[in-house]
């Protein structure tokens, strides 16, 4: 119902599309050191008029909201675009963007708008809802991990972003439900308004 209220249907124009064109790279890294799980996220946005990069890491609250498992790489790879959408909504609003994702499973989930994995599907739905709320047109492509511009941000390196002249910011995670699978719609919708 929220998507219908936002009228996200596509209009076809016979004129040249003047929407800003953006290229967005996202990445996640997941590892465990002495039994402590770490998931780091990064996004890099490039366009002719705007560049930005941000990184964050899962908090204990995000970990506890997800279903228990041995690795959270899929959840991190799905969450990284959501991190960009949360912090860059003004720059991304009314734009056309190509998202470069190096995880084929998550790339497929974004292409179809869902996942068979419950908590991953919730993250994908949150991202799709955010894109609809800011009227963003998105296209998804695969990028090899070694060519992913956002890869350094998840591995404690800013070499690539420094060479591109883009400062890497540490950013906060978006507000996240305590129980991803059972959060009511009002909790999901509470932070999707354009800020």
Residues 173-186 have pLDDT tens digits of: 988 888 888 888 77
Per residue in 102-123, is it b (16+ CB within 10 Å) or e — as a string? bbeebbebbeeeebebebbbbb
Q: Which of 8-12, 167-171, 179-183, 188-192 has the highest mean pLDDT?
A: 167-171
Rounded CA-CA distance 41/117 in Å is: 20
**Domain annotation covers residue 163:** yes
Token pair 């890869």 is at which residue?
Answer: 151
**Domain annotation covers residue 77:** yes
* CATH number for 77: 3.30.420.10
| Res 162: pLDDT | 93
**Domain annotation covers residue 195:** no
| Res 100: pLDDT | 97
User: Across residues 78-97, what is the average pLDDT?
Assistant: 94
What is the count of structural domains for the chain? 1
**Domain annotation covers residue 12:** no
| Res 194: pLDDT | 44
| Res 141: pLDDT | 95
**Domain annotation covers residue 94:** yes
Side-chain-side CA neighbours of residue 100 (13 Å): 18
Judge whether residue 189 has pLDDT over 90. Answer: no
Give the structural domain span for 112.
Answer: 2-7+19-189
* Model pLDDT for residues 106-142, shown as the tens digit of each residue: 999 999 999 999 999 999 998 998 898 888 989 999 9
**Domain annotation covers residue 97:** yes
Share of the chain above pLDDT 70, in %: 88
**Domain annotation covers residue 14:** no
């Amino acid at each position: 119902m929220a998507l219908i209220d936002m009228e996200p249907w596509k209009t076809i124009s016979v004129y040249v599309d003047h929407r800003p064109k953006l290229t967005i790279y996202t990445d996640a890294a997941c590892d465990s050191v002495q039994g402590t799980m770490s998931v780091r996220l990064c996004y890099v946005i490039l366009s002719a008029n705007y560049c930005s990069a941000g990184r964050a890491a899962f908090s204990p609250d995000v970990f506890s909201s997800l279903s228990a498992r041995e690795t959270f790489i899929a959840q991190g790879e799905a969450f990284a675009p959501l991190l960009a959408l949360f912090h860059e909504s003004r720059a991304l609003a009314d734009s056309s963007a190509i998202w470069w994702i190096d995880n084929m499973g998550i790339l497929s989930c974004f292409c179809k708008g869902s996942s068979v994995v419950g908590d991953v599907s919730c993250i994908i739905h949150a991202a799709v809802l955010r894109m609809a709320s800011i009227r963003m047109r998105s296209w998804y492509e695969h990028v090899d991990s070694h060519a992913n511009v956002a890869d350094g941000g998840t591995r404690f390196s800013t070499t690539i972003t420094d060479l591109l002249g883009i400062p890497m910011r540490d950013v906060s995670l978006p507000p996240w439900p305590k129980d991803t699978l059972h959060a009511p719609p009002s909790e999901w919708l509470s932070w999707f308004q354009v800020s």
